Structure 1
Amino acid sequence: MSKFRFSDLLLKGKIFCQFFFAGSRLRQEDFPPRIVEHPSDLIVSKGEPATLNCKAEGRPTPTIEWYKGGERVETDKDDPRSHRMLLPSGSLFFLRIVHGRKSRPDEGVYVCVARNYLGEAVSHNASLEVASK
């Protein structure tokens, strides 16, 4: 077993620390998504536009998907005729709120999910209600 002097350890520690800190300045680490802006509950009139906000950060930049009642929400990225748009920020924009006697496709509880290869983050629930006249 070889003997180390305190000065050897100190020197090795300095080299390690300088290398570690210099390396961390040169490249930034990937990290899993986290939600930085959660959506809020909304009450909207039928036919009016609405936006459910969601912002996430992560590296690489996470993809955002929206779910309503456990089902993925179809947006203009899936169907260009959709009245729902996924904005570059991750927010869900409704051109107009659809609400009928038998069908209420926009009313419900929504969550946004941010994903990258390191994991996923789920927002708080947000309710979208259609105002009664």
Structure 2
Amino acid sequence: MKISGYIHLDLISGSRLRQEDYAPRIVEHPSDLIVSKGEPATLNCKAEGRPNPTVEWYKDGERVETDRDNPRSHRMLLPSGSLFFLRIVHGRRSKPDEGSYVCVARNYLGE
């Protein structure tokens, strides 16, 4: 199984831009992973910006549900912005984790 990551960065100017504020910038990009079923995995993503950006993950274009959305989720959004899988799921009863993942960082200046 291959899990891929890529980053798309757009800058949007704000009308009330404070001099010290700046748009998010990815400083640690996710990399391709090959993980066995049932094993843990981490897709790294770290962003900086001011104000601090929020980070969301998308898999094949759909937002990834994490423990913040559902306490029973096997995926956790770490404080750094990385996506941690308690175990990689691949089965008939649940949606497999295999796919292309995108890390998106946002603040009021853009993503």
Flag structure 2 segments of 5+ consecutive residues without an equivalent: 1-17
Shift of 1:31: 0.2
1:31 paired residue number: 22
The residue type equivalent to 2:74 in the other structure is: H
1:77 to 68, 77, 95: 68
Structure 2 vs 1, CA of residues 32 and 77 (structure 1 numbering), >3 Å: closer, same or farther?
same
Identity %, equivalent residues = 89
Match for residue 109 of structure 1 among 100, 104, 107 = 100
TM-score (normalizing by structure 2) = 0.80
Quote the Cα distance in structure 1 between the aligned partners of 2:68 and 2:96.
18
SS of residue paired to 2:57: strand
Q: 1:49, 1:66 → 2: CA distance?
A: 17
Q: After TM superposition, where is structure 1 displaced by more than 3 Å over at least 4 residues in a row?
A: 101-104
Task: Indicate which of 47, 56, 72 corresponds to 1:65.
Answer: 56
What whole-Å deviation, never above 9, does each CA across 1:52-78 have from its counterpart, x for those lacking one? 000000000000000001100000000
Q: CA RMSD in A?
A: 1.6
- Bigger fraction of residues in helix: 1
Relative contact order (C-alpha < 8 Å, sep 6+): which is higher? 2
Q: Secondary structure at the match of 1:64?
A: strand
**Pick aligned residue for 2:89 from 98, 101, 111:** 98
The residue type paired with residue 77 of structure 1 is R
Give unmatched runs, 5+ long, in structure 1.
1-26, 121-133
Structure 1 CA distance, aligned partners of 2:94 and 2:67? 20
Aligned pairs, how many? 94
Corresponding position of 2:15: none
* TM-score normalised to structure 1 length: 0.67
